[in-house]
C-alpha cells in the first residue's frame, strides 16, 4: 500500500501559492477592464416613470421638466390604458411603444442608451420596439405619437 501523501518543500509550496495569488489578481484586473462596469453604456438603468392621462383613444404625457426634455431621453408611462415606453428621437418627434414584454408579460422598465431592457429575463428591444435580443421573439407594438406644446399624444 502506498502513502497517499506527497511531501512538498517550503519552496514548492510558496511558488504554488504565488501562482494562485497572481491568477486571482489578474482575474480581478481583467474583470475591471471589461464591459461589465457599473457605468458601461450597455448596462441598463431603471427608467423614470411618468403618468399619462387617458382620454378617448389617446394618452397624453407632459414632457416639460422630465427625462423627455432631451433628445435620447426615455421614460415609462403609466396610465389606465396601459404602460408605454416613450423616447424622444428628435426635438419634435417621439416613439411610443407598448411596455408589456412579449416574452412573458413583464413590464419593460430598463434602458441603455439605445435599447429597452426587460428586467425578468433580459430581452432587449430597440427604441422602435424591435427585438434585438431574446428570449422574446415578437416585437413590441408601436403607436403613432405626436408632439405639441410640451405634450406627447399617443394614439391608441
Binding site for ligand FES (CB under 6 A): 101, 103-106, 118, 120-123, 135-136
Query: Please, what is the minimum distance in Å from the beta carbon of residue 134 to ligand FES?
Result: 8
Minimal distance in Å, beta carbon 117 to ligand FES? Answer: 9
Look at residue 6 and give its three-state secondary structure: coil
Q: Which is nearer to ligand FES, 59 or 118 (by Cβ)? A: 118
- Under a CB-based contact definition with an 8 Å cutoff, are residues 109 and 100 in contact? no
The residues, any chain, with a CB within 8 Å of residue 52's CB and separated by 6 or more, are 59, 60, 61, 77, 78, 79, 81, 84, 154
Query: Closer CB to ligand FES, residue 24 or residue 121?
Result: 121
Nearer of residues 26 and 133 to ligand FES, judged by Cβ: 133
Q: What separation in angstroms does the CA of 22 have from each of 10, 17, 27, 39?
A: 18, 9, 9, 27
Least distance (Å) from ligand FES to the CB of residue 84? 16
User: By the 8 A CB rule, do 150 and 62 touch?
Assistant: yes
Nearer to ligand FES, 129 or 152 (CB): 129
What the block records as the C-alpha cell of 37 is 462596469
CB of 43 to ligand FES, least distance (A): 17
Amino acid at each position: 500500500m502506498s502513502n497517499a501523501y506527497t511531501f512538498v518543500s517550503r519552496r514548492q509550496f510558496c511558488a504554488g501559492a504565488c501562482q494562485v495569488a497572481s491568477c486571482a489578481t489578474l482575474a480581478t484586473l481583467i474583470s475591471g477592464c471589461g464591459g461589465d462596469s457599473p457605468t458601461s453604456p450597455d448596462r441598463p438603468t431603471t427608467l423614470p416613470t411618468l403618468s399619462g392621462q387617458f382620454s378617448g383613444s389617446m394618452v397624453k404625457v407632459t414632457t416639460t421638466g422630465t427625462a423627455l426634455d432631451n433628445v435620447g431621453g426615455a421614460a415609462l408611462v403609466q396610465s389606465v390604458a396601459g404602460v408605454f415606453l416613450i423616447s424622444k428621437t428628435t426635438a419634435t418627434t417621439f416613439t411610443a411603444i407598448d411596455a408589456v414584454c412579449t416574452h412573458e408579460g413583464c413590464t419593460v422598465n430598463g434602458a441603455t442608451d439605445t435599447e429597452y431592457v426587460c428586467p425578468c429575463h433580459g430581452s432587449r428591444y430597440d427604441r422602435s420596439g424591435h427585438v434585438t435580443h431574446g428570449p422574446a421573439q415578437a416585437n413590441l407594438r408601436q403607436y403613432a405619437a405626436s408632439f405639441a406644446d410640451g405634450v406627447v399624444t399617443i394614439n391608441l
